[in-house]
Amino acid sequence: EKTGRVDARLLEAIGLPVGTTCSGCFDKVFDPDEGTHFDFALEEPDGLKVFFVCKPEEQVFGVCADDAPHREKLERHYRRYLAEHVDALWLEDAAFFEHYEILRNVSYLGRYRESGLVFIYPKANQALAEAENAIKRIVSKSLAPRVAILYLEYLAARLLTLTEGDVALDERYLRFRDKYVQPPP
């Protein structure tokens, strides 16, 4: 984990208001006992946190086995943070374990009242289309304003627009785009 100040153009690209000041950290773990790694996390000095889950190449969000260790984790780490924010059906074992990674990440919105969660993946990834529907159903009770789905194609284009003229960043974001954004068929 290395924390540093985040360039204002990146904050603008993800939709935060101009003038927002944040530090950022890749591969951030907020609760070592529980163990969730966020691909990226932003923190404002006043306490706002934004958690990022990036799936540039993956085809699914993680599931887990319905076994004693995961049932214990549900009770110890997740249920209390999710109970007031998601419909009870998502806390039933079968639904929870089928959508484990999504719900595990959403639980952090219950832990940190001043927080948001952003899922980033390619819109062109048809395998994640069903996951998008699940995310929207899971957060529909009270968390929808705090959860965003940001398509990788949009993010790459927005970053290239905002860094135009900054040769070093343009090259970095072009390599990023070329690696993760597939051209339309």
Tell me the pLDDT tens digit for each residue of 48-98: 899 999 998 888 999 999 999 999 999 999 999 999 999 999 999 999 999
The two structure tokens encoding residue 53? 């889950």
Give kind and range of the element (H or E) at residue 28: strand 23-29
The rounded distance, in Å, linking the Cα atoms of 35 and 62 is 14
The two structure tokens encoding residue 64? 């887990």
Kindly report the CA angle at 114 between 33 and 70, in degrees rounded to 5? 30
The two structure tokens encoding residue 19? 């003038």
Tell me the pLDDT tens digit for each residue of 86-114: 999 999 999 999 999 999 999 999 999 88
Q: What is the pTM of this model?
A: 0.88
